[in-house]
Amino acid sequence: MVLTPQARRLRLLKEKKRTAMTDDRAVPPRRDLFGVAVDALTMTQAVERCRAAVEHGDHLSIGVVNAAKIVTMERDPQLRAAVAGCDMVLADGQSVVWASRLLRSPLPERVAGVDLFFRLLAEASERGYRVYFLGARPDVLATMLDEVARRFPGLKVAGARDGYFQAADERQVAEEIERSGADLLFAGMSSPRKELFLSQWGDATRARVVHGVGGSFDVLAGVTRRAPIGWQRIGLEWLYRLLQEPRRLGPRYLKTNLAFMALVARHATRGRRPQLQVPAAAASPGQAPVPRPTPPSAPAAPVAPMASAATTAQGEDR
């Protein structure tokens, strides 16, 4: 997939910002997986990068990838550009971690978006960060806010708004978030809507950390159940969800998983190329930063309809 000139410029700007990080904010290594630079981070390291961004007044946009999203990105150049343009890209799905090891570009662990969401809420509650919640139905949002107040009594809520607004209202929404003075912005919307919104308006909100959390609001509100911890640890959260809704999820999972397996096989047969990038912060004075890898060319195709947030991004381990 060839990025547009605008997407390339955005990527270059993101890389330049990464090179400005020094000392305690040193840039971690990245892995080139399916043409996307994924950060080789543990959950603890990801949380620390978010904390550092707030403390130092930086802007950190977070993207997450799982099997379903990677397959969709192969045919959706806008989604690919939005994810690739994020400052930190994490492996939300366990299958991505397994694939990284097969492709000899290993990631340390799965960093599920929903788990990072909960960790950042705890961090914000402890450190006094202001949080803005954007997305979900009005009733789900209200229930979630009640649960947030119960679980994180010290959390400062800068504001909240449901996800039912039109494209023409996006600028107004971004301005509303900016006026709230939020340090952390969580977007509980479906993919690719959340990625495209945050790609275009994330900087304008002036939030220090922006994270698209998909159906995590539904999880926190108790509308959607996650798999037990044991299932999550062995990478079978997707199977748990499949057993809950076999008729609806069965065909989709079969199609997506087969497509992802074919994609992994195709990349595996292309030969082994060095995937580890030298962190730009470690470059010697005057040395140009190492750019992110350019995604491989692939024919564009119509974007497939996306499911609701509650079915696409609750830390799905695929």
Is residue 236 one of the residues assigned to a domain?
yes
Is residue 152 one of the residues assigned to a domain?
yes
The per-residue pLDDT for 26 is 60
Helices 77-84 & 5-19 angle (0-180, nearest 10): 10
Is residue 316 one of the residues assigned to a domain?
no
Q: Are 41 and 14 in contact (CB under 8 A)?
A: no
Cα separation, 294 vs 145, whole angstroms: 41
Cα separation, 80 vs 10, whole angstroms: 12
Cα separation, 32 vs 224, whole angstroms: 33
Give the Cβ contact number of residue 79 at 10 Å: 22
The per-residue pLDDT for 12 is 54
Beta bridge partners of 157: 131
pLDDT tens per residue, range 209-247:
999 999 999 999 999 889 898 998 888 888 888 898 899
Is residue 303 one of the residues assigned to a domain?
no
The per-residue pLDDT for 34 is 94
Is residue 306 one of the residues assigned to a domain?
no
Cα separation, 269 vs 280, whole angstroms: 29
One-letter identity of residue 195 = E
Is residue 123 one of the residues assigned to a domain?
yes
Give the Cβ contact number of residue 301 at 10 Å: 9
The per-residue pLDDT for 121 is 98
Q: C-alpha angle with apex 233: 268 to 225, nearest 5 degrees?
A: 110
SS (H, E, C) 127-194: HCCEEEEEECCHHHHHHHHHHHHHHCCCCEEEEEECCCCCHHHHHHHHHHHHHHCCCEEEEECCCCHH
Is residue 310 one of the residues assigned to a domain?
no
Provide φ and ψ at 95, rounded to 5°: -65, -30
Q: Which domain holds residue 190?
A: 5-294
One-letter identity of residue 286 = G
CA dihedral 173, 178, 182, 185 (to 10 degrees): 40
Task: Please give the span between the terminal C-alpha atoms of the chain, in angstroms, as a whole number.
Answer: 22
Cα separation, 248 vs 138, whole angstroms: 25
**Non-local CB neighbours of 221 within 8 Å, separated by 6+ positions:** 136, 140, 141, 143, 144, 147
Q: Are 89 and 39 in contact (CB under 8 A)?
A: yes
Three-class secondary structure of residue 118 per DSSP:
helix
Three-class secondary structure of residue 120 per DSSP:
helix
Three-class secondary structure of residue 71 per DSSP:
helix
Q: Are 318 and 256 in contact (CB under 8 A)?
A: yes
The per-residue pLDDT for 11 is 54
Domain total for the chain?
A: 1
Is residue 133 one of the residues assigned to a domain?
yes
User: Which residues in the chain come in under a pLDDT of 50?
Assistant: 1-2, 19-24, 274-317
DSSP one-letter code for 276: B
